[in-house]
Every structure is written in C-alpha cells, then in structure tokens.
Amino acid sequence: MLIKVVLILAVAVVSLFMLRGHGARRQALRRLGLLAFAAVAVVSIIFPDLLTAVAQKINVGRGADLLLYVLIVVFFSYVASRYVRDRRADQRVTALARRLALSEAPPPRGALPAAGPEPQTGLAGGPTPEAP
Amino acid sequence: MPATGFDDVWVVIPVYNEAAVFASVLADVTGTFGHVCVVDDCSTDGSAAIAQEFAGRGVRLVRHPFNLGQGAALQTGLEYVLGDPLMRRVITFDADGQHHVADAVAMVERLDASGATPAGPAGQASSRPGLDVVLGSRFLGGGKGEMGGAKRLVLKAAIAYTNLVVGMKLTDTHNGLRAMNRRAVAALHITQNGMAHATEILEQVKRANLAYVEHKVKISYSPYAKAKGQSLLNAINILVDLVLR
Ligand SMILES: Nc1nc2c(ncn2[C@@H]2O[C@H](COP(=O)(O)OP(=O)(O)O)[C@@H](O)[C@H]2O)c(=O)[nH]1
Ligand SMILES: [Mg+2]
C-alpha cells in the first residue's frame, strides 16, 4: 500500500528535520507545523466527515486510522527532538559539574594542606549522599 | 616511595562504588606511580574516602557532584592532569582490580614522552615515529581473555562494529587500560559520558593522526569484577548512544 511507504518516509523526514539544526528559522518552522496541526485538528472536529473523506481518498480507510498515523508521526518526531535537546542539556550540565569538580580539587603537585589525615574543610566534598 | 623515572606520569582512575577492592588497587598503583588522579563519580560506598587515605602517597581526588558516567570521569581526569605542566604521559586504569600495574608500566614505557610534534620541523630523522597512544588489548596474539562465552560474543561484536565505524583494525576496542602522551591527552575531548566513550576515543585518536599501537594485557575476571562489570544488556545502550548522536 502506497500510504504505508508515504507514512514511513514522513517519519524519517520529519525526525531528520527535527534532529538537524536548531536556529530560530528551524524553531519558527516547527511552530508553524504545530499551528497547521492544530488547524487540521480543529477542522476535523468541526467537520468529522472530512477526515474520513480524506482518509478514503488516500486509501487509509477510516478517519480514525488517519488520525492515528498522523499522531504516530508527530509523537515520533517529538521523541527525536527531545532526545537531541536532552543530550545538549546533558553536555551543559557535564561541563558545569566538571568545572566545579576541578575547581574544588587539590593542586596536582606540591604540598597538600598539612600532613596526616586530610582536613575535610567546607566544600571539599560537596553534597555527598553517603550510603546509610 | 614509588620508583623514580615516572615523575612525569599520571595514572587516571575513574571510580564508581568499588570500595571492596579499591584500597588494594590504589596500594598497587601507588607502589609504582607517584601521581594518581582518582575521579570519583559520586560513589555512595566510601570509595572517595579510600582515595583520601592515599593522599600522602600522591593520590589526588577529584569528585563529581553527581554521577556523570565513566566517559565523563575520564575527561575530567584528563583535564586535571593537563593542569600539571610536568605531565608527559598518562595511564588510564580501572578501579575494579581488573588491570595490572606491570602492564601499565610496560605500556607507558613504549610512549614517546618527548612532547615534540611528530616529524617536527627540526627533522630529528628518527627511524620510527614515537608512539602517542598505547592501547591495552586482552585479545592481541589470540588470547581468549578469560571471560564467559556470552560476554565474549557481545564484546567481539562490539569490537567488529567499532573497527568498522572508526576504520581501524584493533583486536580489542573496549579496554580501559591505555597509555598516552601529553599530545594525545590534549587532543582528546570525550563527550560520550557513558560507555560509548571507548569508541569516541578511538575516533579522536584517528582524527588527530596520533601514532598508536596495541599492547597485550591481562584482564582479570575475579568473581567481584564479573558480578559488577557491564551487563550484556548495556551493550544496547552503548549502541544507541553511538548511532544517535
Ligand atoms: N567515574 C565513573 N566510573 C565508573 C562508572 N561506572 C563504572 N566506572 C568505572 O569504570 C571502570 C570499568 O567499569 P566496569 O563496569 O568494570 O566496566 P567493564 O570492566 O568494561 O565491564 C571501573 O574502574 C569502574 O569503577 C561511572 O558511572 N562513573
Ligand atoms: Mg571492570
């Protein structure tokens, strides 16, 4: 069935589209897409038969099926873009945590503060959830 | 006192909850090397306190404020040792007792520690270019590597896949025991916080045109290491990290 090919291609294209680039242009396009999605949703609510008519035109069968397919595409692209954004956030958090860790670490060479057991002062350990 | 001759060497040990064996690992390492950077990834079992006890023997503790993963810990350790202007060579070493100091010594001694760029303008026509990276391999020369059948199968698949991706021909791509010179350390920027960093390191070694070689090492599979090591399922996570980045 042609529609299956089309939908699978749509999944690939939309997710690639969401994955790549993140400028203001891309964001604007994403928002336009969302707006279009909302418009279609509203229209299909007002004219429920329209959805079925369209579905039958493209050989999907019922309007509900079409709706499901579209939702799958949207959901998948959301997951993909979420993944990329999470990874970017992770990298920022990592950089921050690393700076903190390095700034609290003792110097690589030379005397440590005093001899014997380490004087555990202030921040040295940070918030450390020791096992109970 | 650690032997002299390694004053330019740093051992970087990422650690996460290895209190059961960590003291003996540190005793071993500090018996030979005088500069050790332990990167504690917010262990909850007192591993950091163990490292502190070795402060008098050259162990420096760097602590992540929360768990970031082994790749992130390695990068933190590398950045820490770059802060020592006298550092010329670095060893990465596991905290779970699977690695052996004798292997680390042999590997670090194969490195070119001069810090000079290869084939420098001075044209010191050395017959063979110095090595920037020495990679530990448990399979070099046909070793079986002491592990269970299922683990070996997954590992071999990972090795084949990694070789394909990075365009190398290594016998072992997921071995935490490595030695590298300062040039290599400066060229690495690990962004894969989890276990996919092993592949990333190789990619960067290749891209930076570093001279590398594999070195046969022994990896011990004690019951402790077996129980704690990466689960086979985690291979799926690593694969996803590599494909989707
Ligand atoms: N810093 C840090 N080190 C870790 C983490 N997970 C494992 N490690 C360390 O990485 C080394 C190898 O880990 P392991 O799970 O034994 O991997 P395997 O030997 O490849 O199966 C050990 O020294 C662990 O303590 C982590 O989340 N953070
Ligand atoms: Mg291990």
Query: Tens digit of pLDDT for each residue in A107-122?
Result: 999 766 554 444 444 4
Predicted local confidence at residue A123, as pLDDT: 46
pLDDT at residue A18 above 80?
no
| Average pLDDT score, chain A | 76
Predicted local confidence at residue B235, as pLDDT: 73
pLDDT at residue A55 above 50?
yes
- Domain residue extents for chain B: 9-244
Query: Which tokens belong to B37?
Result: 């950077």
Q: Which among B148, B145, B135 is positioned nearest to B205, based on CA atoms?
A: B135
> Are B78 and B185 a contacting pair, CB within 8 Å?
yes
In chain A, which residues have their Cβ closer than 8 Å to the Cβ of B81? Answer: 108
Whether residues A11 and A39 share a domain: the answer is yes
Q: Which among A33, A3, A30 is positioned nearest to A19, based on CA atoms?
A: A30
Lowest mean pLDDT among A15-24, A51-60, B152-161: A15-24
The ligand 1 atom nearest the CA atom of B94: 23
Query: Which residues of chain B are under the pLDDT cut of 50?
Result: 117-128
Distance CA B100, CA B85 (A): 27
Residue A74 counted as domain residue: yes
Domain of residue A72: give its range. Answer: 63-102
Predicted local confidence at residue B114, as pLDDT: 80
Total domain count, chain A = 2
The answer to whether the CB atoms of B68 and A126 lie below 8 A apart is no
Q: Which CATH superfamily is domain B9-244 in?
A: Spore Coat Polysaccharide Biosynthesis Protein SpsA; Chain A (3.90.550.10)
**What residues does B213 pair with on adjacent strands?**
B134
DSSP B175-217: -S-EEEEHHHHHH------STTHHHHHHHHHHHTT--EEEEE-
Predicted local confidence at residue B90, as pLDDT: 98
Residue A82 counted as domain residue: yes
Which pLDDT band holds residue A128 (cuts at 50, 70, 90)? Answer: very low
Which ligand approaches the C-alpha of residue B12 most closely? 1
Query: Which tokens belong to B147?
Result: 């592990």
Asked if B190 has any chain A CB less than 8 Å from its own CB, the reply is no
Q: Which of A90, A91, A125 sits opposite B63 (nearest CB)?
A: A125
Residue A56 counted as domain residue: no
Asked if B62 has any chain A CB less than 8 Å from its own CB, the reply is yes
Whether residues A97 and A68 share a domain: the answer is yes
Residue A90 counted as domain residue: yes
Q: What is the pTM of this model?
A: 0.80
Predicted local confidence at residue A8, as pLDDT: 72
Predicted local confidence at residue A5, as pLDDT: 77
Angle, helix B70-82 to helix A63-104, in steps of 10 degrees: 30
Residue A117 counted as domain residue: no
